[in-house]
Chains A and B, each alone.
Chain A
Amino acid sequence: MKTRLSLNQKSTLLSLALFGVILLVWQLATLPQAHTVAAGVDPEYAALMGGGGATAASSFPTPAAMGQTLWDKLSDPFYDNGPNDKGIGIQLAYSLVRVLGGFFLAAVVAIPLGFVIGNSRVIYQAVDPYVQVLKPISPLAWMPLALYTIKDASASSIFVIFICSLWPMLINTAHGVANVRRDWLDVSRTLEVNPLRKAFRVVLPAAAPTILAGMRISMGIAWLVIVAAEMLVGGTGIGYFVWNEWNNLSLTNVLFAILMIGVVGMALDSVFGVLSKRVAYQE
């Protein structure tokens, strides 16, 4: 008897199988060694009590412990017991606010500027060297300057996000605007469309897929950078949480945070995936 599975069904099955394999390998790799950890003792507790040394091998959380942590943390994500003990939801919210703030500011600057640059070859060539020099700078390199001038940790992280989000959006907008098909511009010229209407009804929709691709890259980078930035400046946010839990030697929490960073990053990206589909057009 032959059963026919659709492509989606096959890939879902394979995904689940992979998940099972990962769990199994993980479980096997973290099997408690008889002489170090007594049965029934919480491995995390044991790890904390025992410190490094002999028990280091088994201080890595087991899938079961991880599951327990996931459950605990996600069932109460918004508690706040002072600076070093906040729910994961709150920490993520801090990071998201910074990322969205910096990203939004960058979009406000980069998209209009990209329009101007993309519309004029002269300005394009004049600005290009600056962009080429500034673009490869690690956004974290700006951190000391930001802290020195802004003097506020949170605002400095927002600035770093701003800087790293700026370039992909700027470059893509300029590129998208500069490469709008001549035909469409000629159509709007023969129809005597005024510049503002042309910008919004012709150039923007024509360049939208390229602009959005730039925004998507920017958002991806911003989400990568915020973790590092918050590790540096401390205080709040998912990056600080990771660093704090590392100092607490709670690998379970670090692992949990890593998982959350991945999930949120994926969610942010899929938002842009949906937007991209919306503005896509087929020639």
Chain B
Amino acid sequence: MTASLSHPFLQVENLARIYPSPAGGDGVTVFDHVNFRIHKGEFVAVTGHSGCGKSTILNILAGLDTASTGHVFMDGREVAGPSLDRGVIFQSHALMPWLTVLENVSFAVKSRWPNWNKQKTCDHAMRYIELVGLKGAEHKKPSQLSGGMKQRVGIARAFSIEPKMLLMDEPFGALDALTRGVIQEELLKICAETQQTVFMITHDVDEAILLSDRIMLMSNGPHARIAEIVNNTLPRPRERSAIHKHPHYYPIRNHLVDFLVSRSKQFGNLRDAPDAPSSPTVFDPVDLLESAVSTEAEAGHTAPVGKPHIHLVNA
């Protein structure tokens, strides 16, 4: 059977996570009513305050954790455990310290294609090591690498198995700003080349804007939800040094920052209202621009001209 074109690649339905309370009462609902879809080749970023359940959602997508209620479908099949179809890049890089860079990546390659011979496995692993710019360091142990280099190995390992989808949990959170910038650009390039479908958690607003097609904003827990979805209409190819010149950049950025600073807290009150929205509000810079013009002008920026014409994705 072939999936119809309108069928989303990843579909998350009514996900919730409830931790039983130690006292034996009602339990703590970390998040509930989480619904979203990701299309093939799409890069979706998620942001929200600590503890709202982002990592839990990612682990459920990965199959490493299970939801209390709800379902995740990928490619029309329900996710029921970890799979080579979904590569994970861990925040703590999770490299095996007793293996060299090459062995770490080869371990993944060998898991994906057990019947390949040594040479083929090694060549394939080397291709991805080169892709992340680590040629020459392949025989080093992780302890001999800097934080940025370790995370690059994690990226190489995740891409090397050519997963249908990539899951990243704050992959660059532990890196210094300079290194982060460099790796973000590399990731941008690799994703463009491979048309990788990505779900990424980030705390960094600029990172989300640089990399993603859509940005999901989670309200604060308990009972966290995906409150808003922002369509990132900045055109590709993007460059770190240039994106802020695009008229959509500041409206998007301001909208994100504003959410994190104030709206994420208020969502809890809205949620319980009888007319609470059952699905997240979708924001598009087309709408944003109108409301942002005045604030931008006040801030000394020239008001953006021209109609936005790039709509990468519709939720």
Interface, chain A (partner B; CB < 8 A)? 181, 183-184, 186-193, 197, 201-202, 205-206, 208, 279, 281-283
B111 near A186: Cβ-Cβ < 8 Å: no
Point out the residues of chain A lying under 8 angstroms from B62, CB to CB: 190
CB-based contact B143/A190 at 8 Å: no
Q: Within 8 Å CB of B86, what residues of A?
A: 190
Query: A residues within 8 A CB of B94?
Result: 181, 183-184, 186-187
Instruction: Tell me which residues across on chain A come within 8 A of B87, comparing CB atoms.
Output: 190
Given contacts A281-B97, A281-B141, A282-B141, contact A187 B83 (CB under 8 A): no
Tell me whether B88 and A190 are in contact (CB under 8 A): yes
The interface residues of chain A lying within 8 Å CB-to-CB of B112 are: 191
In the complex, chain A residues whose CB is within 8 Å of the CB of B92: 183
- A282–B143 CB distance below 8 A: yes
Interface size class of chain B, counting residues whose CB lies under 8 Å from the partner chain: 20 to 34
| 18 pairs, CB–CB < 8 Å, chain A vs chain B | A181-B94, A183-B90, A187-B96, A190-B62, A190-B63, A190-B64, A190-B87, A190-B88, A192-B83, A205-B99, A206-B98, A279-B98, A281-B97, A281-B98, A281-B143, A282-B97, A282-B143, A283-B143
Q: Does B80 contact A (CB under 8 A)?
A: no
User: Closest CB-CB distance, A200 to chain B, in whole Å?
Assistant: 12
Chain B residue, CB-CB nearest to A184: B96
Most buried by B among A184, A187, A188, A202: A187
Most buried by B among A191, A206, A281: A191
Residues of B near A187 (CB, < 8 A) are 88, 90, 94, 96
The yes or no answer to B84 lying at the interface (CB within 8 A) is: yes
- Min CB gap A184→B, angstroms: 6
When C-beta atoms are compared, the residue in chain A nearest to B84 turns out to be A192
Q: How far is the CA of A197 from the CA of B83 in the complex (A)?
A: 16
The minimal Cβ–Cβ distance linking A136 to chain B, given in whole angstroms, is 34
A190: B residues at CB distance < 8 A: 62-64, 82-84, 86-88
Cβ-based interface call for B188 (8 A): no
Closest to B144 in A: A282
Q: Which residues of A contact B64 (CB under 8 A)?
A: 186, 189-190
Least distance between B58 CB and chain A CB atoms (Å)? 11
Within 8 A of A (CB), among B96-115: 96-99, 107-108, 111-112
Please state if B161 and A191 are interface contacts (CB–CB under 8 Å): yes
In the bound complex, residues from chain B placing their C-beta under 8 Å from that of A183 are 90, 92, 94
Which residues of B lie under 8 Å from residue A282 when comparing CB positions? Answer: 97, 141, 143
Report chain A residues within 8 Å CB of B143.
281-283
Q: Roughly how many angstroms separate A126 CA and B99 CA in the complex, as a whole number?
A: 35
* Interface residue ranges of B253-292 to A (CB < 8 Å): none
A264 to B128 CA separation, bound complex (whole angstroms): 50
Q: How far is A130 from B111 in the complex, measured between Cα atoms in Å?
A: 39
- B22 → A minimal CB distance (Å): 18
Contacts of B90 in A (CB 8 A): 183, 186-187
User: Bound state CA distance, A281 and B100, in angstroms?
Assistant: 11
Q: How far is the CB of B64 from chain A (nearest CB, A)?
A: 6
- Whether the Cβ atoms of A193 and B111 lie closer than 8 Å is yes
Mask: chain B, 59-96; 1 = CB below 8 Å from A; 0 = not:
00011100000000000000001111011101010101
Q: How far is the CA of A193 from the CA of B114 in the complex (A)?
A: 10
Q: How far is the CB of A193 from chain B (nearest CB, A)?
A: 5
- 10 smallest CB-CB distances across A and B, nearest first, come from A183-B94, A191-B111, A282-B143, A281-B98, A281-B97, A189-B82, A190-B82, A205-B98, A190-B88, A283-B97
B101 to chain A, nearest CB (A): 14
- Beyond A281-B141, A282-B141, A282-B143, whether A186 also contacts B88 by CB under 8 A is yes
Compute how far the CA of A283 lies from the CA of B63 in the bound complex, rounded to whole angstroms.
26
Chain A residues closer than 8 Å to B84, beta-carbon distance: 190-192
Min CB distance B275 to A, Å, is: 41
* Alpha-carbon separation in the docked complex, A226 to B265 (Å): 69
- Sample of 6 more A-B contacts, CB < 8 Å, known A186-B88, A190-B63, A192-B83: A189-B64, A190-B86, A190-B88, A201-B107, A205-B99, A281-B143
